[in-house]
Amino acid sequence: MSPNPVTRDKFDAVLFDLDGVLTATAKVHAECWKKMFDAFLLRYGKRTGRELPPFDIATDYRLYVDGKPRLDGVRDFLKSRNIDLPEGNPDDGPDRDTVHGLGNYKNEMVNEAIDTTGVEVYSSSIEWARRIKNAGFKLAVVTSSRNCDAVLKSAGIGDLFEIRVDGNVIHERSLRGKPAPDSFLLAAKMVEVEPERAVVIEDAISGVQAGRTGGFGLVVGIGRHGSLEELKANGADIVVRDLGDLQA
């Protein structure tokens, strides 16, 4: 276990991503993205006569959707397959092949999964977060997910965070999603801490890019599935497999 780099003499706040950092919902999101996109690609291929490779969790999830606002994830993945769909309307149902329709369908599946199976947390990460909160750090959760409140409630960790900047806030304030730093910068402002006095903790490439671009004092990359070097190359100052690897 390495010496803890997150100390009160250097930092005043810690800004956490949610999925993949504190909770195991990243797996749920990845599976729902695959189910939604594979069904779409199959019917789109039949309609257009194109042979399209299915959504690959190991590569497509990490490169195109992980950490991003839902609609940006839809757009970026479709672009990777050279598919252009209309934006549609925010209330489009899962039967509509539009950006909103696909995004809404994926969201329905995530909510159903949360309601059915609940949310698994990374206990060592939660323990670490509680220790630094007791040490006087301000804590915020910064996620592109619009399911943030449901996930925190299901996981029983809503009391940890003074501030939540989620996909709903990003939409309401017309912020740019990750890899832009807007959501992290807003969270820092809301906890009244300058970026250089705040730590960003992320597991997504887009998230560590946002932390680096935003000028934050420390960007910690969580590589639970062998992505340590990739996170380091994209802006993480240090990388660990779990927050339990940091002393607090």
- pLDDT tens-digit map of 177-227: 999 999 999 999 999 999 999 999 999 999 999 999 999 999 999 998 767
What whole-number percentage of the chain has pLDDT above 70?
98
Catalytic (active site) residue 95: no
User: In terms of pLDDT, which residue wins out, 179 or 26?
Assistant: 179
Catalytic (active site) residue 245: no
Choose from 37-41, 110-114, 243-247 the range with maximum mean pLDDT: 37-41
Tens digit of each residue's pLDDT (9 = 90 or more) over 79-106: 999 999 999 999 999 889 999 999 999 9
Q: What is the pLDDT of residue 3?
A: 63
Q: What is the dihedral of CA 11, 211, 15, 126, to 10 degrees?
A: -100
- Which is catalytic among the residues 19, 166, 182, 203? 19
Is-contact 77 53, C-beta < 8 A?
Answer: no
- Which is catalytic among the residues 12, 17, 56, 115? 17
Tell the CATH topology of 13-24+120-245. Rossmann fold (3.40.50)
Q: What is the pTM of this model?
A: 0.81
Mean of the per-residue pLDDT values of the chain: 93
Please choose, from the candidates 66, 30, 16, 24, the residue with its C-alpha nearest in 3D space to the C-alpha of residue 155.
24
What whole-number percentage of the chain has pLDDT above 90?
79
Is-contact 223 38, C-beta < 8 A?
Answer: no
Instruction: Please compute the mean of the pLDDT values over residues 140-160 and round it to a whole number.
Output: 91
